Amino acid sequence: MTDALALTVMDFNDHRKDTELGVANFDLASLQADAEQEDLKLPILKAGKTMGELRSSINFYPVLQPAKLADGTLDAVPETRSGICRITIHQAK
Protein backbone atom coordinates (compact mmCIF):
# COMPACT_ATOMS: atom_id res chain seq x y z
CA MET A 1 0.00 0.00 0.00
CA THR A 2 3.01 2.31 -0.27
CA ASP A 3 3.52 2.02 -4.03
CA ALA A 4 1.91 3.89 -6.89
CA LEU A 5 -0.55 2.21 -9.23
CA ALA A 6 0.41 2.97 -12.85
CA LEU A 7 -2.43 2.80 -15.38
CA THR A 8 -1.19 2.76 -18.98
CA VAL A 9 -3.70 4.42 -21.32
CA MET A 10 -3.81 3.08 -24.88
CA ASP A 11 -5.77 4.14 -27.96
CA PHE A 12 -7.54 1.55 -30.08
CA ASN A 13 -7.04 1.32 -33.84
CA ASP A 14 -8.67 -1.17 -36.22
CA HIS A 15 -6.10 -0.88 -39.02
CA ARG A 16 -2.79 -0.36 -37.23
CA LYS A 17 -1.11 -1.13 -33.92
CA ASP A 18 -2.57 0.38 -30.76
CA THR A 19 -0.41 3.18 -29.37
CA GLU A 20 0.34 4.22 -25.81
CA LEU A 21 -1.04 7.64 -24.92
CA GLY A 22 0.64 7.87 -21.53
CA VAL A 23 0.51 6.74 -17.91
CA ALA A 24 -1.82 7.85 -15.10
CA ASN A 25 -0.40 7.28 -11.59
CA PHE A 26 -2.38 6.82 -8.38
CA ASP A 27 -0.84 6.73 -4.89
CA LEU A 28 -2.21 3.65 -3.11
CA ALA A 29 -1.29 5.07 0.32
CA SER A 30 -4.22 7.50 0.03
CA LEU A 31 -6.61 4.51 0.26
CA GLN A 32 -5.67 3.99 3.92
CA ALA A 33 -7.15 7.39 4.82
CA ASP A 34 -10.16 7.18 2.49
CA ALA A 35 -11.09 3.73 1.13
CA GLU A 36 -13.73 5.11 -1.28
CA GLN A 37 -12.45 7.78 -3.65
CA GLU A 38 -14.97 8.93 -6.23
CA ASP A 39 -14.56 11.16 -9.32
CA LEU A 40 -10.75 11.20 -9.37
CA LYS A 41 -9.09 13.21 -12.11
CA LEU A 42 -5.65 11.71 -12.78
CA PRO A 43 -3.37 13.42 -15.31
CA ILE A 44 -2.10 11.23 -18.16
CA LEU A 45 1.63 11.88 -18.52
CA LYS A 46 3.97 10.99 -21.39
CA ALA A 47 7.61 12.10 -21.41
CA GLY A 48 6.89 14.51 -18.55
CA LYS A 49 4.07 16.31 -20.42
CA THR A 50 0.37 16.19 -19.62
CA MET A 51 -1.40 14.42 -22.49
CA GLY A 52 -4.90 14.25 -21.03
CA GLU A 53 -6.97 13.23 -18.05
CA LEU A 54 -8.33 9.95 -16.68
CA ARG A 55 -11.56 10.15 -14.68
CA SER A 56 -12.03 7.20 -12.35
CA SER A 57 -13.24 5.91 -9.00
CA ILE A 58 -11.16 3.64 -6.78
CA ASN A 59 -12.47 1.64 -3.81
CA PHE A 60 -10.52 -0.60 -1.41
CA TYR A 61 -12.15 -3.44 0.49
CA PRO A 62 -9.97 -5.10 3.16
CA VAL A 63 -10.13 -8.89 3.31
CA LEU A 64 -10.38 -9.08 7.10
CA GLN A 65 -13.26 -7.42 8.95
CA PRO A 66 -13.41 -6.94 12.75
CA ALA A 67 -15.41 -9.67 14.50
CA LYS A 68 -18.08 -8.75 17.03
CA LEU A 69 -17.43 -10.28 20.47
CA ALA A 70 -20.08 -11.57 22.88
CA ASP A 71 -19.99 -8.34 24.93
CA GLY A 72 -20.70 -6.25 21.79
CA THR A 73 -17.21 -4.84 21.27
CA LEU A 74 -15.25 -5.32 18.08
CA ASP A 75 -12.18 -7.54 18.02
CA ALA A 76 -9.01 -5.87 16.71
CA VAL A 77 -8.04 -6.76 13.15
CA PRO A 78 -4.38 -7.69 12.58
CA GLU A 79 -2.41 -5.31 10.36
CA THR A 80 -2.63 -6.60 6.79
CA ARG A 81 -2.13 -5.26 3.28
CA SER A 82 -4.48 -7.76 1.66
CA GLY A 83 -7.71 -6.65 0.10
CA ILE A 84 -9.66 -6.04 -3.08
CA CYS A 85 -9.23 -2.85 -5.07
CA ARG A 86 -12.04 -1.96 -7.49
CA ILE A 87 -11.13 0.52 -10.21
CA THR A 88 -13.85 2.06 -12.34
CA ILE A 89 -12.76 4.04 -15.41
CA HIS A 90 -15.34 6.66 -16.32
CA GLN A 91 -13.56 8.54 -19.10
CA ALA A 92 -10.16 9.11 -20.65
CA LYS A 93 -9.55 12.12 -22.86
Distances (CA, A) of 79 to 7, 35, 36, 63, 68: 27, 16, 19, 11, 17
Integer Cα distance of 45 and 7 in angstroms: 10
Q: Which domain holds residue 70?
A: 4-92
Q: Is the pTM of this model over 0.85?
A: no
Question: Tell me: the pLDDT tens digits for 15-56?
Answer: 889 889 999 999 988 988 888 999 999 999 999 999 999 999
Which pLDDT band holds residue 9 (cuts at 50, 70, 90)? very high
Q: Into how many domains does the chain fold?
A: 1
Count of positions (residues) in the chain: 93
Longest alpha-carbon distance in the chain: 66
